Amino acid sequence: DAGVTQSPTHLIKTRGQQVTLRCSPISGHKSVSWYQQVLGQGPQFIFQYYEKEERGRGNFPDRFSARQFPNYSSELNVNALLLGDSALYLCASSPTGQGLVGGYTFGSGTRLTVV
Amino acid sequence: AQTVTQSQPEMSVQEAETVTLSCTYDTSESDYYLFWYKQPPSRQMILVIRQEAYKQQNATENRFSVNFQKAAKSFSLKISDSQLGDAAMYFCAYRVRDSNYQLIWGAGTKLIIKP
């Protein structure tokens, strides 16, 4: 079975632009979470979606938004990019909303660089 | 506020020896999960070991074991017989059992294995 797939793997954007990151969970997993990992730091929680509904939101501005599709894939959108948005964006999937005691499987992330 | 602290930015160990990575956390909750994740250069977060707070017995997974001290809010990871493939960033993470879906992460410890 394929793991969690994220695309693109790398991208470079200019300040003020908008970006869309994509995540395909493991087949059968209904929950997707997004994390931002700035270089040299641990990940920070952005969103969790379960059964296409937002279940949790971290302390991020409204420029960050996400959605989950009927096939459980997800998109993270960031508007009006700032230099500080440069980070590795990680997607994690789990069978249910509660991750089954840490049953989150992570993708390899999208490295976003804002110039 | 719930926080996770890893006080060792970097640790090094000779191949085949034992190393312990430290983690402390702050919470007012009584029922939660603790995790150690490994992040190699491939960037994917890989679950190493997990501990449920209500279990007094320390978790063990092959060469990896934890020392969970609930009263002291300490959760250290011991790696025995260190191998070159263990070289990576190690992150300690915490999650409340039921009411919160997000993982809260420490800043990570870079583990270097000397051949």
Does A23 touch chain B if contact means CB atoms closer than 8 Å? no
| Model pLDDT, residue B15 | 97
B50 Cβ neighbours under 8 A, 6+ residues apart = A101, A102, B33, B34, B35, B36, B59
pLDDT, average across residues B38-52: 92
**How open is the CA angle B104-B107-B113, to the nearest 5 degrees?**
125
Mean residue pLDDT of chain B comes to 93
| Model pLDDT, residue A28 | 87
Structure tokens at B100: 């919160």
B77 Cβ neighbours under 8 A, 6+ residues apart = B20, B21, B23, B36, B48, B49, B64, B65, B66, B90, B92
Which of A29, A49, A68, A104 is most worth mutating to test chain B (most B CB atoms within 10 A of its CB)? A104
For chain B, what percent of residues have pLDDT higher than 70? 97
pLDDT at B101 over 80: no
Cβ-defined contact of A102 to B95 (cutoff 8 Å): yes
Å between A39 CA and nearest CA of chain B: 10
pLDDT at B81 over 80: yes
Does A92 touch chain B if contact means CB atoms closer than 8 Å? yes
**Residue B5 half-sphere exposure toward CB, CA atoms < 13 A:** 9
Which of A106, A108, A112 is most worth mutating to test chain B (most B CB atoms within 10 A of its CB)? A106
Chain B residues closer than 8 Å to A42 by CB: 4, 91, 93, 105-108
Q: What is the Rg, in whole angstroms, of the alpha carbon atoms belonging to chain A? A: 13
pLDDT at B47 over 70: yes
| Model pLDDT, residue B100 | 54
In tens, the pLDDT along A38-66 reads 999 999 999 999 889 998 899 999 999 99
Contact criterion met (CB below 8 Å) for A34 and A47: yes
Q: Which residue from B17, B19, B18, B21 is spatially nearest to B7, judged by alpha carbons?
A: B21
Report the residue count for chain B.
115
pLDDT, average across residues B77-98: 93
Task: Centre a 10 Å sphere on the Cβ of residue B21 and count the other Cβ atoms it contains.
Answer: 22
| Model pLDDT, residue A97 | 58
C-alpha A107/C-alpha A38 separation (Å) is 16
Chain A residues closer than 8 Å to B52 by CB: 101
- B106 pLDDT tier (thresholds 50, 70, 90): very high
Chain A residues closer than 8 Å to B95 by CB: 99, 102
pLDDT top residue among B23 and B29: B23
| Model pLDDT, residue B24 | 98
C-alpha A99/C-alpha A78 separation (Å) is 25
**Residue A76 half-sphere exposure toward CB, CA atoms < 13 A:** 30
Q: Tell me the pLDDT of chain A (115 aa) as tens digits.
A: 579 999 999 999 999 999 999 999 999 889 999 999 999 999 999 999 988 999 889 999 999 999 999 999 999 999 999 999 999 999 999 887 555 555 688 999 999 999 9
Cβ-defined contact of A42 to B52 (cutoff 8 Å): no
